[in-house]
Amino acid sequence: MKAKPRRPRVAIAQVEPVYLDAKASLSKTLQMIQQAKQQNAELVAFGETWLLGAECQGPAVGDLHPPRC
């Protein structure tokens, strides 16, 4: 009988960065990672624009306007 693979414990960080302040966002990131580690998380996922804290709106499907950042 084949053993089941172990599933890693994953945390999703759904918090806002410190907009347009990379140093403050990095500090907040480290706090979130530490908090997740205390809850036995092995992986923490952040949004794609998290660290830079950029407010950027990309084009929607069918939208002909370029992204605004």
> Mapping DSSP to helix (H, G, I), strand (E, B) and coil, where does residue 39 land?
coil
The pLDDT-based confidence of 12 (bands split at 50, 70, 90) is very high
Q: What is the mean pLDDT of residues 14-21?
A: 83
Using the Cα atoms of residue 52, residue 53, residue 55 and residue 59 in order, give the sign of their dihedral: positive
Q: What is the mean pLDDT of residues 15-43?
A: 90
Question: Would the pLDDT of 59 be above 90?
Answer: no
The residues with which 44 forms a beta bridge, in sequence order, are 11
CA dist 65 and 34 (Å) reads: 40
Task: Locate the domains of the chain by residue range.
Answer: 1-69
What is the identity of the amino acid at 42?
Answer: E
- In eight-state DSSP terms, residue 30 is H
Q: Tell me the residue length of the chain.
A: 69
Q: What is the mean pLDDT of residues 27-51?
A: 90
